[in-house]
């Protein structure tokens, strides 16, 4: 509390001042330089002035070592870290006797109510729920005495000795189970990749074999067509030759003589004339 007639004082930007005249709050003053007026001037009495500084910076409050029974009757000790700041200096000083003590009690009770409704497993797996419960439970009442809560987080969780050992075993088992799950998933993924690779190889082999079969069939068809064309051409040539011989008997005789001449070149050739064998020399 700042008092004293004629005294000068400075309020920093981190604080606000409650300005009292004869014990009555007249205004809330911001950062700056101020002077308490003298009590008498020209035989005229002035009110007694006092100024109370209120810190409006964000601060922390630790709710230490609260032993609470969970919904499944497990006793745990929990510490909670609360971050808050004064948003209404007048309400913080005038509404409650001590806003920090009141905030401590409100957060403590809200934490007890929240943790008592949760099982141990829920507390371990979802600590954010405690923060959310405290904020929803205390925010409105804290605003009533000029305080805004920024965060309320679990700082420490302490279990009974035997429970701690059990929890360590459970956590170890969970980690082992997770490792096995990851290994199984990896193995399954590898097998799936290998199966896909085999299927792709089989598909490509089948496509290659089908393509080769099509090429063979096309080649055979082409060869058959070429053979048919050649036979057709040969037949047409024989027909033309027969027509030419039929129209010109001399050509037929010439062909016979050519044939005999070719036979004469062969020492083993035999020639049959009128049913008797004549050996060509």
d(CA 78, CA 107): 12
Tell me: the pLDDT tens digits for 115-170? 888 887 787 777 788 888 888 899 999 999 999 999 888 888 777 666 666 666 76
Confidence of residue 1 (pLDDT cuts 50, 70, 90): confident
Supply the pLDDT for residue 240: 78
Strand partners, 159: none
* Residue 73 Rama label (left phi>0; alpha psi -120 to 50; beta): left
> Comparing 19-28, 32-41, 188-197, which segment has the lowest mean pLDDT?
32-41
Most confident range, picked from 2-11, 103-112, 261-270: 103-112
Q: Rounded mean pLDDT of the chain?
A: 83
The structure tokens 């080769």 sit at 212
Supply the pLDDT for residue 281: 43
Supply the pLDDT for residue 176: 81
Nearest by Cα to 99 from 156, 61, 136, 70: 61
Nearest by Cα to 86 from 75, 98, 74: 98
Tell me: the pLDDT tens digits for 255-266? 777 777 777 777
Tell me: the pLDDT tens digits for 226-266? 888 888 888 888 777 777 767 767 766 777 777 777 777 77
Going by the DSSP 8-state scheme, the letter that residue 248 receives in this structure is -
DSSP helix/strand/coil, 146: coil
Supply the pLDDT for residue 163: 64
Average pLDDT value for residue range 182-190: 87
Supply the pLDDT for residue 63: 87
What whole-number percentage of the chain has pLDDT above 70?
86
């Amino acid at each position: 509390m700042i008092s004293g007639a004629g005294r000068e004082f400075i309020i920093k930007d981190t604080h606000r001042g409650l300005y009292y005249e004869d014990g009555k709050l007249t205004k809330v003053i911001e950062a700056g330089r101020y002077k308490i007026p003298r009590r008498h001037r020209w035989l005229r009495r002035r009110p007694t002035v006092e100024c109370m500084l209120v810190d409006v910076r964000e601060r922390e409050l630790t709710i230490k070592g609260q032993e609470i029974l969970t919904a499944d009757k497990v006793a745990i000790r929990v510490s909670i870290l609360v971050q808050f700041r004064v948003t209404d200096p007048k309400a913080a000083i005038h509404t409650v006797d001590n806003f920090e003590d009141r905030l401590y009690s409100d957060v403590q009770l809200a934490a007890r109510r929240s943790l008592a409704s949760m099982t141990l497993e829920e507390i371990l797996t979802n600590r954010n729920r405690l923060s959310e419960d405290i904020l929803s439970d205390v925010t409105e009442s804290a605003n009533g005495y000029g305080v805004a809560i920024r965060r309320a987080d679990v700082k420490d969780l302490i279990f009974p000795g035997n429970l701690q050992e059990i929890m360590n075993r459970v956590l170890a088992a969970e980690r082992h189970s997770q490792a096995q799950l990851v290994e199984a998933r990896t193995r399954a993924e590898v097998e799936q990749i290998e199966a896909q690779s085999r299927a792709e190889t089989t598909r490509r082999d089948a496509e290659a074999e089908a393509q080769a079969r099509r090429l063979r069939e096309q080649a055979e068809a082409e060869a058959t067509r070429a053979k048919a064309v050649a036979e057709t051409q040969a037949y047409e040539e024989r027909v033309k030759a027969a027509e030419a011989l039929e129209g010109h008997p001399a050509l037929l005789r010439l062909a016979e003589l050519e044939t005999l001449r070719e036979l004469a070149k062969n020492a083993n050739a035999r020639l049959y004339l009128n049913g008797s064998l004549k050996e060509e020399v």
